[in-house]
Structure 1
Amino acid sequence: MFGRLQGVLMLGVSLGLIVGGVLAEKFGIKTPFEVAGASFLICTTYVLSFVPYIDPKDLSSDDARPKGKGFFGFLGPLKVLGPQKMILADGRTKKHYGIFFLALGIFTGVLATGYAPTLIQMYSMTVFQFTSTNNSLLMSLNCLVRGLFLMFVFPRIISSGRLAFKTDDQPLPDTPPDSPLPTEPHDIDPFPAPGADQEEPTKSLKPVTMTQGAGFDLFFLRWSLLIDGIVTTSSAFATQGWHIYLVGALLPLASGSAPAAKGVLTEMVPANRKADALQAMTLVEYSATFTTMGIFGFIFSSFADIGKSYLTFYCNAAVAIVGVLILLLSRFPPAGSEMIIDHSETEALLSEEDTDRTCNEEAA
């Protein structure tokens, strides 16, 4: 589903590039802006008329972490991407770094490939004297192939790959056979008498389940990033203009790393942390996009000054290989393990909100 959503986005971008270029040539440069404004109004009307409203309270669970305030509250979901404390099936406790290395690998991957479309355009204008019309056709072709691939080919690859990686037809049990938790009635200790002093647990356990065959998503993520880097590097060997169009058509065939990463992430975290995890991954991707624009923009301009702008593609490939090596360190949580969620921060935030509410009531 993540792939289909991104594929629809790419088809819209491709159509926008074509329609905008045609309108600008036929009716003047102001026309694309006017059509864009009308499109926004139509889109807003459609959303208000047909997209159902969902109360945000229905999307949150009772034990979900409340959101902080201000700038640090905005960055709060990033904590989900850090090392997570897990309790294994045999009762031992250890830290799981799979999510951390996944986020770091995605950051490095976007750093390597996020600048590729812009780099190809700048390289084609510098070396092959592409015009704005040529670049529009190049990017339109790139987005069109990417959209068709993500909508129709990518879902089939994921489905077939998960079937190939599937090891058991039965779902993973909630309690593994060697779990230390009691399974028979006579093994359960009697409950304490009413009124007895009881301590509230400061941590709660959230089971981490993995869809059968989801390991293929991580496998696909690593190889797609590697192939993406190889195809991007092949641009350095282009000697004619049509070679750039060929690269623009082949590059989307290695796409899918972003939706695959979101699929892997949603399988690594509990259900009540998925929203925060997806939000945090989006922050990581945007941060990497901003970073790659600055870094590789400087690298390209530096190589262009000495007449060797093609070396930028080799730098892209080197960063992509580093991203693949980092993703090799990412692993799914062990079978039967459970994530330990610390509620100390939750209690502190709730206490702070209660204090603020009390002060407001007294002031009123």
Structure 2
Amino acid sequence: MVLRKEGQVTPRNMPPPHERTPLLAPRRAYFPPLYRVYFTSFIVGITFSFTQTALIYSFRTMTCDEYYATRKFTGVGDRCAIHAIESSTARSVALMSAITTGCTLVNLFTSAWFISRWGVKAAMFQQTFWAALRNLTQIYAQTVGGSRGMTIITTTQVFNVMGSAGGFQLCANAFVAMLSDDEARTANFGVLGGVFMFGSGIGYTAGGVSEHLWGYLAPFQGAFCLLVFSTVFGIFFLPHCTPQHKQEEKQGFLAPLKVFVPRARVGGGRDWNLTLLGLGTFFAVLATGYVPMMLQLVATNVFGFTPDTSGYMLSLNLLVRGFFLAQCFPPIISRGRRWLTPTPQSPQPKAPPELPQPAPTPSPTTLSHSPGPDRVRRLSSRLSTRRPSSPPIPNVPRRRSSSRRASTNSNSPNTPPPPYILPSSAEHPFDPNGAEIPDAAGEPIVDLAPAPADVQHGALFDLLFLRYSILLDGILTSVVTFASGPWHMYAAAGVLPFASGTGPASKGVTLEFVPAHERADALSAIALVEKLAQVSTIGLFGYLFSLLSDAGVPTLVFAANGAAALIGFALLLPVRLPRVAPTGAV
């Protein structure tokens, strides 16, 4: 048995205690595994945003060099600021973005497949390994330049099939789900998203500064070094978690999609909770995924923001979002759970209910002098308080009590009892010296039914937070429609992140519906839904923004985003948590 302090929770990845388990719990590590995952996510967040600004600028430069390879510049000012170069750059960037998005979608399936076969650690450092190779080829493409360099960069986006930012976030979420208890899982998802946002915000600024100070190759070289460091750190310092269903029947490549398929109920019918939860998550990301880009477009086209001021606004949005998810989101979840599911007022343990004892068959000599049950119970309680209990010795039979020997041989002399046991009398001839000493192994065990999920760790509040966070996000986004000054854009970039907890909350609620061995597939399904929503919101609201800009009312696009958020809120209203532990059927 392992000695634990009151309220201490055993981590999910620890094996159950056995006879060789040490009595004293190990000391808490100075850099525990969960913090290592946070640190790796922070570094990778910096890495994937380190080259974003430099990559777009390099496409413009290479397009400009290719254009003037057969022409001579005769004007004044920026030679690349002509319509032909800008349109060609836009087409090249759009092609690269389309390949990147498609390969990232495939990477979500490959990452889930790697997690189920070789574990989350192997899947995680594989993401950074292939990203480092892609970054190395981009450095070579920068030295080549021209159309050939752009072709190399566009082609190397195929590496995203094996390693991308989306796949890394999926692996990091799977790691957090394995290392976290049920009570802390949703909050830890928020912290993970927060540190990744912090890294992304720092990466945008650091990449631009490094290019300004050390040249156009500096962001790519710095990103390559960070990716190599992340890969080595993941191999040697992240814990290994064996896949839970490695020995089970092999699943198909598209198995994660089955998570949101309606499941059969025990009493008949279909359970649509996961389906509605997936649709609600889709509309939530659809409503909020394009908001940072729309802030940049409105600020640039309507209020005349320059690239540096637009970059400051984007960094502000990411840093505030990271602060909210890492510092504000976990206390909101913990305090909300305590408010919604209060702890019992009387923490003293109750005695187990007394089980009915079978009546012994009395012998002829003790029939008239058998002790009453109350007296035997009092005697046993005094024995347990005066004489310390000890565990039973294995393979050593217990001796029979002297009262039993007296029933077979009534002429045996009575031995005087020890001084710490009540002496026998004519009224109570039972000899307590032979009574069996109560121990932990002999106590009755009461098998209690498992409590519902929302009673154990307050998952009901996670669902309520998910619903009303989407509602609040829709209301705040709709208010941006009335923006009339540049400072309104900065205010929106700083206020909107305070309603950005829908992502970790949706992951925490979804995992309440699936058993432990399906959590990797569930996280992969959520990531796929979010990625599909991001692709859809770029096409839908990008086209809508162009139509509203032609009509002279570009800020109305924020009202359309708010309407999409209201649809997501309505889809989540019928969702109900499972009342029992998930076993595949609700």
TM (norm. structure 1) is: 0.75
Q: Which amino acid aligns with 2:540?
A: I
What displacement does 1:30 show? 3.0
Of 135, 141, 155, which aligns to 2:310? 135
Tell me the SS of whatever aligns to 2:313: helix
Q: Deviations over 1:28-54 (max 9, x none)?
A: 333222222222122222222322333
Of 303, 322, 347, which aligns to 1:147? 322
Tell me the SS of whatever aligns to 2:575: coil
Maintained 8 Å contact 1:80/1:280: yes
Distance 1:118 1:35, change over 3 A: same
TM (norm. structure 2) is: 0.48
Aligned to 1:173: none
Distance 1:80 1:242, change over 3 A: same
Q: Which amino acid aligns with 2:339?
A: A
Which piece of structure 1 moves more, 313-322 or 228-237?
Answer: 228-237
Q: Does 1:213 find its partner at 2:458?
A: yes
Tell me the SS of whatever aligns to 1:25: helix
Tell me the SS of whatever aligns to 1:239: coil
Distance 1:140 1:262, change over 3 A: same
Q: Does 1:280 find its partner at 2:455?
A: no
Aligned to 2:204: 17
Tell me the SS of whatever aligns to 2:566: helix
Q: Distance in 1 between matches of 2:245 and 2:281?
A: 27
What displacement does 1:324 show? 0.5
Aligned to 2:250: 66
What displacement does 1:340 show? 4.3
Q: Which amino acid aligns with 1:311?
A: L
Q: Distance in 1 between matches of 2:224 and 2:202?
A: 16
Distance 1:122 1:321, change over 3 A: same
Which piece of structure 1 moves more, 221-230 or 153-162?
Answer: 221-230
Aligned to 2:575: 330
Q: Which amino acid aligns with 1:30?
A: L
Q: Does 1:289 find its partner at 2:543?
A: no
What displacement does 1:168 show? 6.2
Q: Distance in 1 between matches of 2:572 and 2:540?
A: 22
Identity of aligned residues (%): 41
Q: Does 1:76 find its partner at 2:251?
A: no
The alignment yields a C-alpha RMSD, in angstroms, of: 2.4
Q: Does 1:242 find its partner at 2:487?
A: yes
Q: Distance in 2 between matches of 1:302 and 1:138?
A: 25
What displacement does 1:310 show? 0.9
Maintained 8 Å contact 1:23/1:31: yes
Q: Which amino acid aligns with 1:133?
A: D
Q: Does 1:269 find its partner at 2:453?
A: no
Of 264, 277, 281, which aligns to 1:106? 281
Tell me the SS of whatever aligns to 1:310: helix
Aligned to 1:38: 225
Q: Which amino acid aligns with 1:327?
A: L
What displacement does 1:237 show? 1.6
Maintained 8 Å contact 1:165/1:214: no
Q: Does 1:320 find its partner at 2:565?
A: yes
Q: Distance in 2 between matches of 1:332 and 1:149?
A: 26
Aligned to 2:552: 307
Q: Which amino acid aligns with 2:272?
A: Y
Q: Distance in 2 between matches of 1:235 and 1:136?
A: 19
Q: Distance in 2 between matches of 1:124 and 1:109?
A: 23
Q: Does 1:97 find its partner at 2:272?
A: yes
Of 77, 83, 86, which aligns to 2:265? 86
- How many residues are paired up? 295
Maintained 8 Å contact 2:515/2:584: no
Q: Which amino acid aligns with 2:221?
A: E
Which piece of structure 1 moves more, 307-316 or 32-41?
Answer: 32-41
Q: Distance in 1 between matches of 2:324 and 2:471?
A: 18
Q: Distance in 1 between matches of 2:249 and 2:299?
A: 49
Maintained 8 Å contact 2:469/2:501: yes
Q: Distance in 1 between matches of 2:272 and 2:457?
A: 21
Distance 1:269 1:140, change over 3 A: same
Q: Which amino acid aligns with 2:236?
A: S
Which piece of structure 1 moves more, 44-53 or 122-131?
Answer: 44-53
What displacement does 1:293 show? 0.8
Q: Deviations over 1:267-314 (max 9, x none)?
A: 122222222211111111111111111111111111112221111111
Largest Rg, 1 or 2: 2
Q: Distance in 2 between matches of 1:2 and 1:296?
A: 28
User: What are the ranges of 5 or more consecutive residues in structure 1 without an aligned counterpart?
Assistant: 171-206, 342-364
User: What are the ranges of 5 or more consecutive residues in structure 2 without an aligned counterpart?
Assistant: 1-187, 346-450
Maintained 8 Å contact 1:208/1:270: no
What displacement does 1:338 show? 5.7
Distance 1:273 1:41, change over 3 A: closer
Q: How does 1:225-240 map to 2 (within 5 A)?
A: 225-240=470-485
Maintained 8 Å contact 1:208/1:339: no
What displacement does 1:223 show? 1.1
Q: Which amino acid aligns with 2:282?
A: F
Q: Distance in 1 between matches of 2:565 and 2:334?
A: 26
Distance 1:47 1:273, change over 3 A: closer
Tell me the SS of whatever aligns to 1:93: coil
Q: Deviations over 1:131-156 (max 9, x none)?
A: 11111111111111111111111000
Q: Distance in 1 between matches of 2:493 and 2:573?
A: 28
Q: Distance in 2 between matches of 1:280 and 1:114?
A: 18
Maintained 8 Å contact 1:61/1:272: no
Q: Distance in 1 between matches of 2:452 and 2:529?
A: 23
